[in-house]
Structure 1
């Protein structure tokens, strides 16, 4: 079977509309001889003469008359499909975006983000989905529009990323904890009973690496699924948590926070999305709103 040349549809539409080779050639900026060759190809493809001589002009065959409207609609639909996207009218936008991120981001930035989106597009809804370490599947299959978090080694190579802000780890204990009553050193910190928050199973914690460089190892009393759970345990126990400062700001009210007594690399919180959403106007607007909300506090990338 010969490969279909969809350009023939455009030529056929011009021929059936103009009713002449010369008119169709002018319509498509072709020479009459080139249009004549195209008509020959159309006749071979359809098995019908399509246009036949009648005096000095051409008249359409019954088959050509049958094809006239369907071909016109096909060509028009193709033009619409290939037309550049119209300007996005946010006031009429009605859709649901799924953002995959941590509870800490939702608590610290969620209210401001929802307010920002609603100001431009009241018909937009946002669903916050739970983070899933070591997986870019949601971005690939379209279940997730945008992810907010740390780029890990397991992040898919095709995934687009853009830094939002840097964050640093700090220590957190309940008020009145023994660590609040004396100088905190790396040794006294490591000797405490610690609650370990979420981390990428493929990556070693930077806190453990920093302690190991000093010949120290912290004692892990329990492991939880998120920083919110870690801080909840800290409130009612003598456990010590290490959490990202900006990411947990709204969750640390009533707790005592302190700089870690050793150097730990900062982490970078980023936007992650699939490249198929690069040019989508609604998705681009969503990303711009997230960047705007995150840049309202110091420490962002600008």
Structure 2
């Protein structure tokens, strides 16, 4: 079955509205003969005469009367779809956005973001869902609108990205832990029992590599898949963990944080979305809100650090 020429809908809409080949031709800026050819194509496509002679004029057939309202609505909807977006009225916007993040983002940036959204667009609701992997399928199929994380080799190549902030890893222990006193050295640090945070269950990380270069090795007491779980264990034990500074600020309240005594690479936290959402006004507005909230906290310090 051949695909119908959808341009005929516009022609049919004008013909049914005017009830005259001549007037329809003038409205569409076509010659009478070209308009007659279009009518012939419409008759062939629909299998109906559509307009028949009645005296000196034309009258619509029952099929044409049936189509008139439907065709008019279709053409109106098509024109609206192709029309440039109107100015976004945030006060009238009603929409739910799904944002996938790793634990820590909501706790640190959620309150300011939700307050900003409520003030500017009270009809907007945010749904935060946990990021368990880096699969880009959910962004592609529209299940989620936005995602935060580190852009890597496994990030979908078509995704749009926007840097939000740079983060560094720090060490964390409970308050009144033995490491809260004295100078932090690689030897003191390596001598403790550690938690390794790895969603993939890795046995070592970049800190272990840095310690090995100094002839040191730390003991990994346990491996967990989230920063929140690691910090909960540290809060109630003598264990040590390294976590991103800014991402875990509010999760480390009343805990002791310190600069790591070995070099580690910073990470860039970015905002990710599918390119089909680039031009959506509401989506652009939400992206700007997230960027602004992260920028406002860029210079804040979440805790005091001891420089070892």
Q: TM-score range by the shorter chain?
A: 0.7 to 0.9
Aligned in 2, Cα 1:134/1:216: closer, same or farther, shift over 3 Å? Answer: farther
Aligned in 2, Cα 1:113/1:203: closer, same or farther, shift over 3 Å? Answer: farther
Q: Does 1:219 align with 2:219?
A: yes
Aligned in 2, Cα 1:48/1:258: closer, same or farther, shift over 3 Å? Answer: closer
CA deviation map 1:53-92 (0-9, x unaligned): 5565444444434433332233223223333333322212
After TM superposition, the structure 1 stretch with the greater mean CA deviation from structure 2, 210-219 or 289-298, is 210-219
Please name the residue that 2:148 is paired with: 148
Mapped to 1, the partners of 2:51 and 2:94 lie a distance apart of 48
Q: 5+ residue gaps in structure 2?
A: 301-308
Aligned in 2, Cα 1:94/1:46: closer, same or farther, shift over 3 Å? Answer: closer
Aligned in 2, Cα 1:140/1:51: closer, same or farther, shift over 3 Å? Answer: closer
1:165 and 1:299 in contact (8 A); partners too: no
Written as runs of structure 1 = structure 2, the 5 A alignment for 1:1-302 is 1-53=1-53, 57-199=57-199, 205-298=205-298
Mapped to 2, the partners of 1:70 and 1:176 lie a distance apart of 75
Mapped to 1, the partners of 2:110 and 2:209 lie a distance apart of 32
CA deviation map 1:119-168 (0-9, x unaligned): 11122222222221243343234332221222233333333221100000
Q: 5+ residue gaps in structure 1?
A: none
Aligned in 2, Cα 1:157/1:209: closer, same or farther, shift over 3 Å? Answer: farther
Calculate the aligned-residue CA RMSD, in Å: 2.6
Mapped to 2, the partners of 1:200 and 1:269 lie a distance apart of 19
CA deviation after TM superposition for structure 1 residue 200, in Å: 5.3
Aligned in 2, Cα 1:203/1:105: closer, same or farther, shift over 3 Å? Answer: farther
1:166 and 1:299 in contact (8 A); partners too: no
Aligned in 2, Cα 1:182/1:24: closer, same or farther, shift over 3 Å? Answer: same
Aligned in 2, Cα 1:21/1:174: closer, same or farther, shift over 3 Å? Answer: same
1:134 and 1:200 in contact (8 A); partners too: no
SS at match of 2:104: helix
Aligned in 2, Cα 1:18/1:89: closer, same or farther, shift over 3 Å? Answer: same
After TM superposition, the structure 1 stretch with the greater mean CA deviation from structure 2, 107-116 or 43-52, is 43-52
SS at match of 2:241: strand
Mapped to 2, the partners of 1:221 and 1:198 lie a distance apart of 13
CA deviation after TM superposition for structure 1 residue 5, in Å: 0.7
Mapped to 2, the partners of 1:166 and 1:215 lie a distance apart of 30
SS at match of 1:103: coil
Aligned in 2, Cα 1:228/1:82: closer, same or farther, shift over 3 Å? Answer: same
TM-score, normalised to structure 1, is: 0.88
After TM superposition, the structure 1 stretch with the greater mean CA deviation from structure 2, 52-61 or 172-181, is 52-61
Aligned in 2, Cα 1:69/1:291: closer, same or farther, shift over 3 Å? Answer: same
SS at match of 1:147: strand
Aligned length: 300
CA deviation map 1:203-249 (0-9, x unaligned): 97332333344444321111223222222222232211111111122
After TM superposition, the structure 1 stretch with the greater mean CA deviation from structure 2, 89-98 or 50-59, is 50-59
2:108 and 2:250 in contact (8 A); partners too: yes
TM-score, normalised to structure 2, is: 0.86
CA deviation after TM superposition for structure 1 residue 28, in Å: 1.3
Mapped to 1, the partners of 2:203 and 2:27 lie a distance apart of 63
2:25 and 2:31 in contact (8 A); partners too: yes
Please name the residue that 2:305 is paired with: none
